[in-house]
Chains A and B, each alone.
Chain A
Amino acid sequence: MKKILAILFTVCCSCAPLLAEEQSTTELSTNKGRTVIDIIRQKPAYASCNYDTYPDSIPENLTPAPMGKRPFYISHYGRHGSRYINKRSGYEIPYKMMVHANGVNELTATGKQVFSEMNLILEDSEDRWGDLTPLGRSQQQHIARRMISRFPEVFADSACVAARSTIVPRCIMSMEAAMMELAQLNPRLHITMDASKSTQWYMNHQDPLLRSKLIPEAQKVYDKYTASRLGNSRLMEMLFKNPDIVKELVDESFFNYYLMKMGLFQLNTHRYQDTYLTDLFTTEDLYRMWQIDNALWYMQYGFCPLNGGDYPYSQRHLLRRIIAEADSCISLEKPGAQLRFGHETVLLPLVCLIGINGYDLQTTDLEELEEKGWWCSSVFPMGSNVQFIFYRRNPSDKDVLFKVLLNEQEARLPIRSDCAPYYHWADFRRYCLKKLDRYEKRRNNSR
């Protein structure tokens, strides 16, 4: 008992200075009154969470910087653009079920058409597993173009642009597409590119101690949450002559989920105009799938207490690196931009770790996620990015401000500010480093 009290005391003490700096209320959601189902009705791809396409029309409105402060440095982490699915196995579950059902002549006319669509998709994807698509390239070009037009001061004259990618080809291609765009817009830029195994420890760190799989207790809660949301008898009746019999071959829940994913994924590929599979599903179907996925992403990559609650700390090296590089760049007269290209499994926990827009939410009630705005699709579609834009009056200005753009829109942080969405760099730095120190101490003690 004493031990428990001691731990509680230590935790409370260590939280005290942090709480003092934090914003008193961290409101969630930046979705401006829209519900998830509204968004899905307008853009079905939103339901596919990490397979969603980038919202490439970004509102122009940016809050003017406090008087006299000008942007001078950008630090960025972005996900690669739209791509093909990584592996054939991503499509195999529904496909094999259809092969079996077709083999016993259980497909309706619509079912046969769906089977034929699936064959076309597989044919299109063959030997393109994980490839960046033309849409993915243009997303990166557009993001780069907007970055330079919104913050021309950072990219003036022969400013340095240091781009770094994970060693995964689609990330390298994304980086190159962005750099080619910048080079066209300002040929005098000093652009360097890098993709090295030696930087994977922070560019694409997956922490084995914080493994993202669900622990058994969390799995039970998740199963309970998804039980009423899985399945789609309407779809079964549409595709199979005898849905009850075919259930021996086709697992309704799996089939429904993976066929929907397969359809939505095509919006990223050369077959983006073909919405045949997506059209099989109602908005309600898509919405239920989003709920299932959103909850899983939260449990695996968010601060979900049911599953250890620490996964976002997997990106502590990246956050420390972002801070260290910013500190170093602030000391320079014209630091330019540091752009990093990686993955959604890094970006989402990073956003949670920093607490951008309230994504550091902790709850054991999965039903709360939607209401409180923990919507993963708003964080990590293909091409998603976090940009830290730094401001100061001149190189000797000690009060450096910065703001965060999540997918190019101004975001809020869980720290106080007298000029939000601008924040004092020193406050943010202190807040993050304390948070990381506290975690690392706890981690070391538990070993």
Chain B
Amino acid sequence: MMYEQQMKKNDMHRMTIAILVFCCSLCSMAQTVADELRSDVRRAAGMNYALTLPETPEDTPPPAGKRPFYINHFSCPSDYYLERHYDNPYQTLSRADSLGKLTELGRDVLRRVALLRSEEHERTGELTEAGKRQARDLALMMMRRLPEVFADNSYVDGRSIVQNNCLLTLGEAAVQISQAHQPLRVSTNASHRFRAWLDPRDKELEAHRNDSLAMARYADFTARWAPDNSRLTTALFNDADYVRSIDAAELCRQLFDLACCTQYTDVVGGRALYDLFTPEELHRHWLRRNAWAYIRYGGCTLTGGNEPYAQRRPLWNLLHMGDSIMSLDYPVVHLRYTNESVVMSLVCLMELDGYGVQTDCLDSLEALGWADYRIAPLGGSVMLVHYRTDKNDPDPLVRVLLNGREARMPIATDCAPYYHWLDVKRYYLRKLYAYARTRDDK
């Protein structure tokens, strides 16, 4: 019913498409966003969702005789303290409290926000305890799944951008790997030099992100899908007139953002702030953030559809290293840690699991399966695992793990989820060359 009311106010055409696609998706997709949010509300945090994996993820055995010999792994940082989300809701609620305008729940929320704020104080960019465990668990899982690559003669080379959340994630992973196998050569490094291929900037593409048409469509989208904040504000404040004097929508948005970046805290008795929102409100808040991520890092045609190419250099690195390592006769692991946004664009550029989808219809994203927490959550990664029979194998294979799970590439293969390296290389090189022709670079 609420959808129908909004339709009257807004763009009928786009909404109809969205509803149609949404209904189709309900029928066709095994797990909808709503299902996934219900099973783990933390997913509403999108790119701030801290990835968890099942104890034993599914691993398809490689074709006969093929053994893993190289892992190239581009990862997001683990769960870390984010800045900027604490002061505004705290101040709004404090002011209201000093005027006696908060309900009991409102005062409890103020207490929780104050605790969260003091926990975060001077910790921006630092890993949370959950983040440290996550980095170690994910490294251990990698070793358990691919023990052949972590052998006595292996070389593990970890690199990070010069940013503490990434550096610390690398450190936790490297220490865990060092503890899990001896002897093992493990080296870590971080340098501004690595930005060229680990966190490249493309000012031209970045400028497109703020395209006025895209921003207008985004504003329209968020207005149509804005949650009804009256329920929450009525629950928090005891004076309707006072609520009218503040920016209630902004406060609700801020509380949601704060819930997203404090999802693993235990300072408020294991409860973050998700309990303030109904499932539908959470879903609608998530839609806003998901659309924003798609415009900035995905194949959104409102911004030209080329944003993922901002991360063409990491893809070059994946292709180049895949060839270089072939000549070595010992296993190699390359662990690379960079920003979530880099991994997200890289996934879209590689079109893994269909996330390269291009559309100008923000309403269709959910139905198309483009959900930020599935693509680049905290601790998420793209891992290319290379297989061969021996050093002279003319037909090495590669398997991609996206966030620890086997993923599809847009390339034909007779042994999925394994792909022939030569096909993979050919496909992506063509794609990169085609784009380079439009940009006068490589």
- Cα–Cα, bound, A137→B188 (Å): 9
**Quick check: is A198 within 8 A (CB to CB) of the other chain?**
yes
* Contact residues, A149-199 vs B (CB, 8 A): 167, 169, 172-173, 175-177, 179-181, 183-184, 187-189, 191-198
Closest B residue, CB atoms, query A131:
B191
Residues of A within 8 A of B176 (CB): 183
Least distance between A90 CB and chain B CB atoms (Å): 15
Do A191 and B126 have beta carbons less than 8 Å apart? no
Residues of A within 8 A of B125 (CB): 167
Which of B30-38, B71-79, B167-175 binds A? B167-175
**Quick check: is B184 within 8 A (CB to CB) of the other chain?**
yes
Closest A residue, CB atoms, query B166:
A169
Given contacts A167-B164, A169-B164, A172-B164, contact A180 B123 (CB under 8 A): no
Do A191 and B193 have beta carbons less than 8 Å apart? no
- Cα–Cα, bound, A167→B190 (Å): 14
- Cα–Cα, bound, A197→B174 (Å): 23
Interface centre among A137, A175, A194, A198 (most CB of B within 10 A): A198
* Contact residues, B107-148 vs A (CB, 8 A): 121-126, 132
**Quick check: is B183 within 8 A (CB to CB) of the other chain?**
yes
Do A180 and B122 have beta carbons less than 8 Å apart? no
- A196 contact from B126, B171, B174, B188, Cβ within 8 A: B126
Do B122 and A197 have beta carbons less than 8 Å apart? yes
Interface centre among A179, A187, A191, A196 (most CB of B within 10 A): A196
**Quick check: is A272 within 8 A (CB to CB) of the other chain?**
no
**Quick check: is A276 within 8 A (CB to CB) of the other chain?**
no
- Cα–Cα, bound, A167→B168 (Å): 10
Do B123 and A197 have beta carbons less than 8 Å apart? yes
- Cα–Cα, bound, A133→B121 (Å): 32
**Quick check: is A9 within 8 A (CB to CB) of the other chain?**
no
- Cα–Cα, bound, A193→B193 (Å): 25
**Quick check: is A128 within 8 A (CB to CB) of the other chain?**
yes
Residues of A within 8 A of B121 (CB): 198
Do A179 and B175 have beta carbons less than 8 Å apart? yes
- A187 contact from B132, B174, B182, Cβ within 8 A: B182
- Cα–Cα, bound, A128→B162 (Å): 10
* Contact residues, B168-205 vs A (CB, 8 A): 168, 170-172, 174-176, 178-180, 182-184, 186-193, 195
**Quick check: is A129 within 8 A (CB to CB) of the other chain?**
yes
Do B162 and A180 have beta carbons less than 8 Å apart? no
Interface size class of A (residues with CB under 8 A): 20 to 34
Do A137 and B175 have beta carbons less than 8 Å apart? no
**Quick check: is A437 within 8 A (CB to CB) of the other chain?**
no
Given contacts A137-B187, A179-B175, contact A128 B167 (CB under 8 A): no
Least distance between A141 CB and chain B CB atoms (Å): 10
Do A197 and B171 have beta carbons less than 8 Å apart? no
Residues of A within 8 A of B184 (CB): 184
- Cα–Cα, bound, A179→B174 (Å): 9
Residues of B within 8 A of A173 (CB): 167, 171, 188-190
- B183 contact from A127, A180, A184, A200, Cβ within 8 A: A184
Residues of B within 8 A of A126 (CB): 193
Closest A residue, CB atoms, query B136:
A191
Closest B residue, CB atoms, query A179:
B175
Do B179 and A191 have beta carbons less than 8 Å apart? yes
Do B191 and A193 have beta carbons less than 8 Å apart? no
Least distance between A69 CB and chain B CB atoms (Å): 30
Residues of A within 8 A of B180 (CB): 187
Residues of A within 8 A of B187 (CB): 137
- Cα–Cα, bound, A176→B127 (Å): 14
Residues of A within 8 A of B132 (CB): 192-193
Do B124 and A197 have beta carbons less than 8 Å apart? yes
Residues of B within 8 A of A197 (CB): 122-124, 126
Do B190 and A169 have beta carbons less than 8 Å apart? yes
- Cα–Cα, bound, A191→B178 (Å): 11
- Cα–Cα, bound, A128→B193 (Å): 6
Do A169 and B162 have beta carbons less than 8 Å apart? yes
Closest A residue, CB atoms, query B183:
A184
Least distance between B139 CB and chain A CB atoms (Å): 12
Do B188 and A180 have beta carbons less than 8 Å apart? yes
Residues of B within 8 A of A179 (CB): 171, 175, 178
Least distance between B324 CB and chain A CB atoms (Å): 20
Residues of B within 8 A of A127 (CB): 191-193, 195
Closest B residue, CB atoms, query A176:
B171
Residues of B within 8 A of A196 (CB): 122-123, 126
Least distance between B52 CB and chain A CB atoms (Å): 21
- Cα–Cα, bound, A194→B187 (Å): 19
Residues of B within 8 A of A187 (CB): 178-180, 182
Do B167 and A172 have beta carbons less than 8 Å apart? yes
Residues of A within 8 A of B168 (CB): 172, 193, 195
Interface centre among B121, B180, B187, B192 (most CB of A within 10 A): B192
Residues of A within 8 A of B162 (CB): 131, 169
Do B122 and A169 have beta carbons less than 8 Å apart? no
- Cα–Cα, bound, A193→B173 (Å): 11
* Contact residues, A198-250 vs B (CB, 8 A): 198, 200
Do A183 and B175 have beta carbons less than 8 Å apart? yes
Least distance between B76 CB and chain A CB atoms (Å): 18
Residues of B within 8 A of A169 (CB): 162, 164, 167, 190
- A180 contact from B124, B178, B191, Cβ within 8 A: B178
- B171 contact from A128, A132, A175, A200, Cβ within 8 A: A175
Do B191 and A177 have beta carbons less than 8 Å apart? no
Given contacts A128-B193, A176-B174, A183-B178, contact A195 B188 (CB under 8 A): no
Residues of A within 8 A of B182 (CB): 184, 187
Closest B residue, CB atoms, query A189:
B179
Do A180 and B164 have beta carbons less than 8 Å apart? no
- Cα–Cα, bound, A181→B184 (Å): 10
Q: Which 3 A-B pairs have the closest CB atoms?
A: A176-B171, A183-B178, A197-B122
Contacts A169-B167, A184-B182 aside, 12 further interface pairs with beta carbons under 8 A come to: A132-B190, A167-B126, A172-B164, A173-B189, A175-B171, A176-B170, A180-B174, A180-B188, A183-B175, A184-B178, A188-B179, A193-B132
* Interface pairs (14), CB distance under 8 Å: A127-B192, A167-B126, A169-B162, A179-B175, A180-B174, A180-B175, A181-B178, A184-B179, A184-B183, A193-B172, A195-B168, A197-B122, A197-B126, A198-B123
